[in-house]
Amino acid sequence: MAITSIGVGSGLPLQDLLADLRASESQALTVIKNRQTSEQNRLSAYGRIKSAVEALQGATTALSKPEAFTTLKTSVSGGDGLSATASADAIAGSYKVKVETLATTQSLVTQGVASRTDALGEGGVITFTYGDGSTKTLDLTGEDTSIDGLIAAINGDDTLGLQATVLNDGSGTPHRLLITSTTTGTDAALTNISVAGNTDGGGGEPLADLLNFGNAGSTVSEQAASNAKIDINGVAITSQTNTVEDAIEGVTLTLNAEDASKTLNLTVSRDDEAATKAITNFVNAYNSLQGTIRSLTSFNTETQTGNVLTGDSMARRVQDQVRGILTVSSSSGDIRSLADMGIEFNYQNGELKLDTAELAKAMKDSQGDIASFLQGPLGIAERMTQITDNLLGSNGPITSATNGVNQTIETLKEQYDTASARIDSRMAIYQKQFSALDTMLAEMNSVSSYLTTQLSALENLSNQTKK
């Protein structure tokens, strides 16, 4: 007989028994799953430690840069005609500056023509001569020689250092070509424009006539370029641009407005902000790493439960090695320990406490010693760089621990797949055996029912015969 569900034929709870057997067999999978979860949590924790070490490494790199302790700042008082920046090559000092004239660009305006689109002869090579003696050419052979064509050709050649447009003066010949140098100063200004090879077919040279500049009978009007002129502590200085570099060593001056009657006071002084920021970021990155490790390795004494990395040797190794760097001391100078610059070590949580007021005082009084203590040979920055490089290296403890966890996770996956396949195979056998049992019991019940019916019929027949 056909049985659609085991247990139906026999009346036994075989389906429930199969479910109980699967649940029992699956306990092994639960154990593996729990281990997988634990290892995944450990892998995530290692990732958090690695990120914190990388942040500390970045802060250490910034702390080790020379500019952290060589930055200078500038201030200007007395007017808005000047702004300034200072590089590490600058020397602290005060200067009196007068901005007498600003550097300007040259502009040239040609005579007007009736049409801006009519050609001015055919072809030609224009030669531009500049104030510094250099020359550049613009070849119009086969090109448009109209005003619009000249504008497109000049603006399309960045090497010329020129910008062209058209002015309309409203006269009968209104279209006048305007050429402006893109760089200030007399060196970038044009001193001559000559045209060769341009003709109108009748012996005329319309392009040469239009652009005649710097020659006898020039037809081009000029607004001349000028150089910047400033006075620094009584010394006259000229510049081709309004950005004056190294008139004062390491200082770049930007000229904003001219006023020879005003004396501007420029001060170049040491800027402790960059060093203070680098030190603060280093302290914060160190504390972040220590806090991360502490939270991952903590143990709750009340609940008697640990965290994901409680007792983990790699976490302790990172913590101890990084903490050990801060015990470095110097035998020279006024700054011999972190405490001398306002940084105290908290032995309860392993973190650092920065007193900004004490740091500011130390920076004011002993900035050079602080730089030597932090950046010198075998100083904190150099030693911390070595440690973090080792911790993050391909053969370092973080990488090794991470690789080990990944290998364990892969092994657990293989174990899970194997155990799952074994359980499925075993359950298939149980299913087959229970189905056979169910069928056999169902057939036996059927035979028993048949025999019972037959015996009952015989008994009834016997009783009738006796009567």
The pLDDT of 84-102, averaged and rounded, is 93
pLDDT of residue 378: 84
Supply the DSSP symbol for 346.
Answer: -
Region of poorest pLDDT, from 251-260, 302-311, 346-355: 302-311
User: Mean pLDDT lowest for which of 66-80, 228-242, 422-436?
Assistant: 422-436
Specify the pTM.
Answer: 0.66
What CA–CA distance (Å, rounded) separates 213 from 223?
12
Closest CA to 56 of 289, 405, 237: 289
CA-nearest of 121, 123, 100 to 234 is: 100
| Dihedral sign from CA coordinates of 57, 63, 65, 67 | positive
Q: Are 166 and 175 in contact (CB under 8 A)?
A: yes
Range 107-132 average pLDDT: 96
Q: What CA–CA distance (Å, rounded) separates 434 from 431?
A: 5
- Quote the CA–CA distance of 201 and 64 in Å, as a whole number: 73
* 418/187: higher pLDDT: 187
| Token pair in block for residue 351 | 């973190």
Largest pairwise CA distance in the chain: 163
Angstrom distance (rounded) from CA 165 to CA 179: 7
User: At the topology level of CATH, where does 107-223 sit?
Assistant: Immunoglobulin-like (2.60.40)
Indicate if the pLDDT at residue 76 is higher than 60.
yes
Contacts of 183 (CB under 8 A, 6+ apart): 105, 161, 240, 241
Residue 464: HSE in the Cβ half-sphere, 13 Å Cα cutoff = 6
**Residue-level pLDDT at 11:** 58
Strand partners, 189: none
Tokens representing residue 322 in the block:
């990084």
- What's 123's DSSP letter? -
Mean pLDDT, all residues of the chain: 89
Tell me what pLDDT residue 3 has. 38
269: exposed, middle or buried (C-beta count within 10 Å: 0-12, 13-18, 19+)?
A: middle
Cα(188)–Cα(159) distance, integer angstroms: 12
Task: Burial-class residue 224 by CB neighbours within 10 Å (0-12, 13-18, 19+).
Answer: exposed
The stretch 192-201 carries a mean pLDDT of: 92
What pLDDT score does 442 carry?
Answer: 66
**Dist. CA 40–CA 388, nearest whole Å:** 24
* For residue 40, pLDDT beyond 80: yes
Exposure letters 368-393 (e unless 16+ CB within 10 A, then b): ebbbbbbbeeebbbbbbbebbeebbe
How sure is the predictor about 163, in pLDDT bands with cuts at 50, 70 and 90? Answer: very high
Per-residue pLDDT, 32? 82
pLDDT for 216 equals 84
CA 280/CA 340 separation, integer angstroms: 15
pLDDT for the residue numbered 5: 61
Top-confidence residue, 31 or 73: 73
Query: What pLDDT was estimated at residue 1?
Result: 37
Q: What is the dihedral of CA 305, 306, 307, 313, to 10 degrees?
A: -170
Q: What is the pLDDT of residue 444?
A: 73
pLDDT of residue 14: 64
CA quadruple 150, 156, 159, 165: dihedral positive or negative? positive
Average pLDDT over residues 349-370: 92
**Span 394-441, pLDDT tens digits:** 999 999 999 999 999 898 888 878 878 887 788 777 777 767 666 776
Mean pLDDT for 313-321 is 92
**For residue 438, what pLDDT is reported?**
62
Average pLDDT over every residue of 182-188: 97
Query: Poorest-confidence range of 139-148, 170-179, 208-217, 452-461?
Result: 452-461
- The mean pLDDT of 119-125, rounded to a whole number, is 94
Distance (Å, rounded) from C-alpha 163 to C-alpha 151?
Answer: 8
Percent share of the chain, pLDDT over 70: 91
pLDDT at 8: 56
Query: What is the residue extent of each domain of the chain?
Result: 1-70+271-467, 72-102+227-270, 107-223
What is the rounded distance in angstroms from the CA atom of residue 324 to the CA atom of residue 286?
12
Q: What is the pLDDT of residue 350?
A: 86
CATH architecture label of 1-70+271-467? Up-down Bundle (1.20)
373 pLDDT above the threshold of 70: yes
pLDDT at 421: 83
Contact 294, 316 (CB under 8 A): no
pLDDT tens for 3-28 read: 346 655 555 666 777 777 777 777 87
pLDDT (tens digit per residue) in 454-465: 677 676 766 666
Q: Which residues contact 26 (CB under 8 A, 6 or more apart)?
A: 423
> Which has more pLDDT, 444 or 421?
421
Name all contacts of 145-151 with Cβ < 8 Å and 24+ positions apart.
145/119, 145/120, 145/121, 145/198, 145/207, 146/115, 146/116, 146/117, 146/118, 146/119, 146/120, 147/113, 147/115, 147/116, 147/117, 147/120, 147/175, 147/177, 148/116, 148/117, 149/119, 150/120, 150/177, 151/177
Q: How far is C-alpha 269 from the chain's CA centre?
A: 31
